[in-house]
Structure 1
Amino acid sequence: MAGTFTLRIVTPERTVYTGETESLRAPGSEGSFGVLARHAPMVAALGVGPVEFSEDGSRRQMATSGGFVEVSAEGTTILAETAEFGDEIDVERAQAARDRATKRLNQQSEIDRARAQASLARAINRLSVGGAS
């Protein structure tokens, strides 16, 4: 039988989630990774993308944008810059952010491409988790 572990997801503004889970999948800076109960202790950079975890037999998903993940014997803590469940995402705002970032990337003038690409990745992530494309 698979065990469970305590998962805490925290942003600078609030504790977004605390509960027991059997598994976690998160976007790392070098690719996605998974965590199960009794995982070896580690610290990893959190990338932009969906965090997925199980809760009472069902899958939950939230959009995150950067931070750190700490796995320890006491549980797993995600310290995220932002973290939103799909029903918390303002889809119209995320679509507008995606459109602005795409427009900035397509302009011929000198722009901060890395910043525009990061903005686009965050918007696409939020739309994916928020249920819009």
Structure 2
Amino acid sequence: MSGTFAFELVTPERVLVSGAMEAVLVPGTEGDFMVMAGHAPVVSTLRPGILEATAPGGKAQRLFVRSGLAEATAESMTVLAEHAVLLDGLAGDDLAKLVSDSERLVADAADETERAYAQNALARLRAALPSAR
């Protein structure tokens, strides 16, 4: 199924991303999943991880999301994120704070399942950082 769909990623502060996308890779609590135009309706909670939104022409935006909710239909997708940060173009201090906050999520995990999600998200964040390339 080719084509685009309307995408919005919203935080409590503002609309962070809005536009037509070809695909969005989502870190769902039950596993990562890809949404494309024509996707069956789905609602999922988010776990900490990297969300990647690919616009027409292949330009991708990578964001670290802490938690939230994603809803997709055949024509659109909305992500309501508790906290989200665009990874591309972050300064060194911002990256250090993001990693520090993620390390705190690991330390403050209520149980082993939550700790495993947080550790996985931290590993993905570290791998996605520009300095890791």
Give TM-score, length-normalised by structure 1. 0.76
Q: Does 1:85 align with 2:81?
A: no
Deviation at 1:4, TM superposition (A): 0.2
In structure 1, the residue matched to 2:98 is 94
% identical aligned pairs: 31
Q: Deviations over 1:63-114 (max 9, x none)?
A: 0011110112441000011111112461122344456667x5xxxxxxx543
Aligned to 1:114, the other structure's residue is in SS state: coil
> For residues 96 and 14 of structure 2, what CA distance do their matches in structure 1 show?
23
Aligned letter for 2:96?
Answer: E
SS of 1:93's partner is: helix
Distance 2:65 2:99 in 1: 16
Distance verdict in 2 for CA 1:76–1:131, change over 3 Å: same
Structure 1: which amino acid aligns with 2:98? A
Give how far 1:40 is off: 1.1
Q: Which residue of 1 aligns with 2:60?
A: 59
Alpha-carbon distance in 2 for matches of 1:73, 1:97? 35
Matched residue, 2:130 = 131
The CA RMSD measured in Å over matched residues stands at 2.8
- Provide the secondary structure at the position in 1 that maps to 2:38: coil
State how far apart, in whole Å, the 2-side matches of 1:40 and 1:99 are: 35
Residues 70 and 78 of structure 2 are in contact (CA less than 8 Å); yes or no, is this contact kept in structure 1? yes
Segments of 5+ residues of structure 1 without an aligned counterpart are 105-111
- Structure having the larger proportion of residues in strand: 1
Give the C-alpha shift of residue 131 in structure 1. 2.4
Q: Which has the larger radius of gyration?
A: 1
Alignment coverage as a number of residue pairs = 125
Structure 2 residue runs of 5 or longer lacking an equivalent are: none
Give the match for residue 2 of structure 2: 2
**Aligned counterpart, 1:107:** none
